[in-house]
Structure formats: C-alpha cells, structure tokens
Amino acid sequence: KEEAISLVTRVKYGAVSATVPQTSLHRSCRWYSVSHLSVKERIDQKRQAALQGGGQQRIEAQHKRGKLTARERVQLLLDPESFVETDMFVEHRCADFGMEQDRNKFPGDSVVTGRGRINGRLVYVFSQRGNSILCDILFVLQDFTVFGGSLSGAHAQKICKIMDQAMTVGAPVIGLNDSGGARIQEGVESLAGYADIFLRNVMASGVIPQISLIMGPCAGGAVYSPALTDFTFMVKDTSYLFITGPDVVKSVTNEDVTQEELGGAKTHTTVSGVAHRAFENDIEALLNLREFFNFLPLSNQDPAPIRESHDSSDRLVPSLDSIVPLESTKAYDMLDIIHAIVDERDFFEIMPNYAKNIVVGFARMNGRTVGIVGNQPKVASGCLDINSSVKGARFVRFCDAFNIPIITFVDVPGFLPGTAQEYGGIIRHGAKLLFAFAEATVPKITIITRKAYGGAYDVMSSKHLRGDVNYAWPTAEVAVMGAKGAVQIIFRGKENQAEAEAEYVEKFANPFPAAVRGFVDDIIEPATTRKKICQDLEMLASKKQVNPWKKHANIPL
C-alpha cells in the first residue's frame, strides 16, 4: 500500500523551491544504497522500482493527462509477453547540482529499452519516460528554462545499445518519444548523447527501418532523431515537435503562437510535412503502428514481406472501366482506384493530409507489400509541385532502400507553374522525385490512367527511367501538353484553331503515340489491372539491377 508524503526539497542553485511528491517506493530506492539489504533483495527492489516507474500516483497523473506510461506503451505495441528489457539497472552518472543524491537516481533512468515481437516479428524498441520521476524533478529544477530536460548520457547510451544490436541483427527500431530535451545538469554529456543517437540514426538509415512515434513533447535537439528516422507519427493534442518553444519564439521573433500551433500534430501533418501521420490517442497510435509494422521488411537484406492474402490475385475490377470521366477536365479520386486494386481495400496512406495532390502509401498485392504512388486528380488537378515532389521522392527512396516494389498511377497535367513555385525552387525539388524514381532498382510498375503530360510524364516512373512494366489505360493521353496549349504554339496565329485542336486530340490524346514507340508495354483494360500487376510482381520478384558503384549519389537536396 502506497502512502504519499509531500517533501519540500530546497534547491540552492536557481533558488527554486519545489514540492516533489514522494512515496514509500522512492524512499526504498534510497535505502538500498545503505546496503543493509542482501544483494538479492536489492536486485528485487531495484527491479520493482524500475517496473513501477514513478509509482501509482505518478502513473495516475500521466493517465489524467490522457497519456499512457512508457511501459504500458511498450506492452500495447508488442505481442503479449514478448518484451525483453535491457539495461533496467542503468542509472545516470551526473554528479553535479545534487543529481548525485540517491533520491534523484532511478533504475533504468528515463527510458525503457529492449526488444520484442510484433505479430511474431522481431523489433527493437525504446520508450521514453515522459512521466518519470526524473523528468518531474528536473522539470521543477529547471523551470526557468523553456523545457525540462531528461535525456541523460545514460539514457542515450541505452538507446544506442539497442540500435547497435538492431543493426547487427537486422531488425527495425521503433522509438516512442516523450522527452523534454537535453538534461542541462549533465551539460555536454547530454549533447554527446544526442549526437551518439543521431550518428546511429544516420548509419541505420537504409539498413533497418526506423520509426518514431511522438507521444509527448519533443523539443530542441531531440527533434532531430525523429527527423532522421524513416517515419514520424504523432499523437493528436498530446505531442509536440519544435526546435524552440513558444516562449523563445516570442522573445526572438515576437510571434504569439501556442505549442499546438507551433508544433502540434496538425501543423506537422498538414503544413510542415515533418510528421507522416497523426492518430487520435496513444492507443490508436500504437495499434496503428502494429498494423504499419506488418508492411515493412525487417531490414534491407530482406525482401518485402508476403502475408497470407484472402483476396484472389486474378480478381477483376469492373468498376475501374468507368472510373475515369470522359471529360478530361473532370476530376476523380485516385484513392478509389487504389482501394479497388489492392488486397482487401487495405491501404496505409502516408502523409494523407500533406501535399494531397500526390498519394503515397503501403498496400499489398497478393499478400506482398508494395509502395503505391499516385497523382491525385481531385486535388490541384494532380499536378506536381514542390511539396508533392518531396513527399513522393522520400517515399520512393524508402521503398527502394527496403526492397518494396513501387506501383505508380499516373494522371499528371504537369508541374505547377507560378512565381511561388519557381522562387521556392520547384526545379530543385522536382528533381528529387525524378532522381528517386530513376535511381530506384526495385520492381517498378506504372499505370497511366489518364494524363501524362510534359516533363511530369518522364518523372512519374516512366519507361525511360527504367520502369519495368508500364501500362496505359485506354483513357491515357501521353503528350507534351494538353491540346489547347499545344495548338496555340504549333498553329500560332493561324485560323481554325478548333479544327487544329481536334486534330491534335485525335493524334495525341490517346495511348497510341506512346504505345507505338514502346514507351508503354501494353494498353490494358482497367478491369484487369489488379490481375496484371499481381502477375508482373511475381515475375519481377527475382529482378536484379545494380547502380554503378559510388560512395553515394548526390541527390539535389
């Protein structure tokens, strides 16, 4: 039975007094250093303290905030009883500012690390203790700064250890981030800790999938670890990502902004593109992460996973025959096509609310994970602009790094014109998507559903960029531009523009010009698209293609 006693801790530096709730458990933590207990008892007590986290009261406080504890999160994320913890006994080594006192030490420090299984598949995981006693003490100690810190050298060391092992074994790392930032008491050691993690994030990039789920504050240097990982997910209303908080923003730029506006889930999934998706709460986020994990191979040495599928690979999809409107100016929803084609209508969309003119995400074809890229005619006509190019490029590169075949649905009227785009560097950013598709050596299947105009046609996984199988639907129009614009240039100043336009449409607004040149492999009935893709993927499973040796390519960043 826990009893809560309030202790007033006077801290001389910073002249801050604070009330830190203490429990019998914490007192017991202090006792073991007195060494009047046997080793066995001390082990049990430390383990107990580590498992209990901050004690019942602290857990309740975390629950009241609508958040789960680090350990509950791990339990929900992993298969039952599969979690194997490491470094439960690690403590921080800070010897300054009273941190050396036993009551400011905590077994396991402010992070839970280890390995476990998701649907039987190996994964390494760390879960930061946003609620740990250390965080609170430190938060109180440092409330004159923007944010309390909790990343200690020990904390970083624990994370590095599992990352190193994940690399040697070849299994993904999932980080559940909930941390205030650097531990100022530790000073440079804490900074070193960050850098150690950053380096490992970079080394692991493209070797093992790295996923960050932001479940609390993540500010300052801490943000760069999620930024370096492959996917960053957030929890709505309780997670924030920013370099500097609202107070510093106010003092530097005199902007009034809330935490939510500055770095909340909505900002990062719609405006900045920092996060790839946001979920309603901790539970939905963790359950979705399990679902997401199923799509990924464990490392770059593994092929895309194939899960048992209940959807027959030769299923015809008659509804696709009428999905593209007859008027080429009318929009339709590319997601309708994707849902109808993939296994069980199951599509895990990445960045669904950012640069919506391109759709990217994971699905399965006959059980095999594929990456889907599609122009979205419903939004800004499906044109390519800065944001959609970057979004697409990053996704394509992830798929290529991890052997996930890419299926591209093309309906693109071109790159978006305008000063905003040109000044923003559409040339540089558009080049990223071009680079990514060209460089990719995974199986690439492309379906032109309607427009494939101009340079955007080349970019969208065209035959010229080593597309393995390129199809056109009967509604496809591969051309330099739309009829009206083309006629204005070709027949400038001439009468009978309408007639010329009709001629252009007859000649170019159909799949033949591309088909006769072999730029598309076949013109297919839309209803058969799923069947064809499944067959092609089977054939391409043994595809081998190697780019010339290089230290690394120089993608136009």
Partner 1 sequence: MTLWMIGNMAAHSVPSTLKRLLFAVKYSPLQSRCCAVQREAQYSTISIPSEKTFDKILIANRGEIACRVIKTCKKMGIQTVAVHSDVDSSAVHVKMADEAVCVGSAPTSKSYLNMDAIMDAIRVTGAQAVHPGYGFLSENKEFAKRLAAEGVAFIGPDTHAIQAMGDKIESKLIAKAAKVNTIPGFDGVVKTAEEAVKIAQEIGYPVMIKASAGGGGKGMRIAWNDEETREGFRFSSQEAASSFGDDRLLIEKYIDNPRHIEIQVLADKHGNALWLNERECSIQRRNQKVVEEAPSTFLDPVTRRAMGEQAVQLAKAVQYSSAGTVEFLVDSKKNFYFLEMNTRLQVEHPITECITGLDLVEQMIRVAKGYQLQHTQDDIPINGWAIECRVYAEDPYKSFGLPSIGRLSQYQEPLDLDKVRVDSGIQEGSDISIYYDPMISKLITYGATRAEALGRMEDALDNYVIRGVTHNIPLLREIITHPRFVSGHISTNFLPEVYPDGFKGHQLEADAKRELLASAAVLYITAELRSAKVLGTQRVASTPVECSHWELCVELGEERQDVEISKSGTVYTVEMDGAKVEVWGALNLASPLLPLTINGTQRMLQCLSRDAAGVIVLQYLGTLFKVRVLSKLAAELNSYMPEKVSEDTSSILRSPMPGTVVAVSVKPGDTVAEGQEICVIEAMKMQNSLTAVKQAKVKSVHCKPGETVGEGDLLVELE
Catalytic annotation, residues: 220-221, 455-456
- Nearest CB to partner 1, comparing residues 102 and 525: 525
In this chain, which stretch among 117-125, 173-181, 243-251, 397-405 interacts with partner 1, using CB under 8 A?
Answer: 117-125
What beta strand segments (E) does 130-284 contain? 173-179, 210-219, 231-235, 240-242, 277-279
Task: Give min distance, CB of 96 to partner 1, in A.
Answer: 36
Contact 399, 439 (CB under 8 A): no
- Nearest CB to partner 1, comparing residues 153 and 377: 377
- Nearest CB to partner 1, comparing residues 151 and 487: 487
Region at 16 (left for phi over 0; alpha for psi -120 to 50; beta for the rest): beta
Work out whether 161 is an interface residue with partner 1 (CB under 8 A): no
Residue type, 6: S
Work out whether 68 is an interface residue with partner 1 (CB under 8 A): yes
Instruction: Give me the phi and psi of 87, to 5 degrees please.
Output: 60, 40
Work out whether 494 is an interface residue with partner 1 (CB under 8 A): no
Work out whether 305 is an interface residue with partner 1 (CB under 8 A): yes
Work out whether 308 is an interface residue with partner 1 (CB under 8 A): yes
- Nearest CB to partner 1, comparing residues 66 and 425: 66
Per-residue binding string, partner 1, 174-213, x by CB under 8 A, is ----------------------------------------
Task: Tell the residue number behind the tokens 């950013």, with chain if given.
Answer: 429
Work out whether 66 is an interface residue with partner 1 (CB under 8 A): yes
Binding to partner 1 (CB under 8 A) within 340-379 occurs at 340, 343-344, 367, 377-379
Question: DSSP labels for 332-385?
Answer: --HHHHHHHHSGGG--EEESTTSSTTEEEEEEEETTEEEEEEEE-TTTGGG-B-
Binding residue for partner 1, selected from 117, 161, 466, 543, defined by CB under 8 A: 117
Pairing of strands 406-412, 368-375: parallel
Work out whether 416 is an interface residue with partner 1 (CB under 8 A): yes
Contact 529, 470 (CB under 8 A): no
Binding to partner 1 (CB under 8 A) within 282-301 occurs at 282-284, 287-288, 290-292, 294, 298-299, 301
Work out whether 76 is an interface residue with partner 1 (CB under 8 A): yes
Binding to partner 1 (CB under 8 A) within 221-260 occurs at 236-237
Binding residue for partner 1, selected from 85, 196, 260, 302, defined by CB under 8 A: 302
- Nearest CB to partner 1, comparing residues 32 and 457: 457
Work out whether 72 is an interface residue with partner 1 (CB under 8 A): yes
Work out whether 331 is an interface residue with partner 1 (CB under 8 A): yes
- Nearest CB to partner 1, comparing residues 16 and 283: 283
- Nearest CB to partner 1, comparing residues 22 and 421: 421
The Cα 132–Cα 296 span in angstroms is 31
Binding to partner 1 (CB under 8 A) within 121-140 occurs at 121-122
Work out whether 56 is an interface residue with partner 1 (CB under 8 A): no
> Which residues are CB-contacts of 319 (< 8 A; sequence separation ≥ 6)?
340, 527
Work out whether 516 is an interface residue with partner 1 (CB under 8 A): no
**Strand, coil or helix: 146:** coil
In this chain, which stretch among 98-106, 145-153, 316-324, 464-472 interacts with partner 1, using CB under 8 A?
Answer: 316-324
Task: Give min distance, CB of 81 to partner 1, in A.
Answer: 10
Q: Which of 201, 248, 203, 242 is nearest to 222 (CA)?
A: 242
Work out whether 85 is an interface residue with partner 1 (CB under 8 A): no
The Cα 247–Cα 391 span in angstroms is 31
Binding residue for partner 1, selected from 30, 339, 466, 543, defined by CB under 8 A: 339
Cα angle 248-176-46, degrees, rounded to a multiple of 5: 105
Q: Which of 71, 63, 204, 180 is nearest to 125 (CA)?
A: 71
Q: Within 10 Å of residue 110's Cβ, how many Cβ atoms?
A: 27
- Nearest CB to partner 1, comparing residues 53 and 153: 53
The CA–CA distances, whole Å, from 365 to 198, 255, 307, 407, 539 equal 35, 49, 10, 10, 13
In this chain, which stretch among 3-11, 79-87, 219-227, 257-265 interacts with partner 1, using CB under 8 A?
Answer: 79-87
Residue type, 252: V
Cα angle 215-220-221, degrees, rounded to a multiple of 5: 95
Task: Give min distance, CB of 278 to partner 1, in A.
Answer: 12
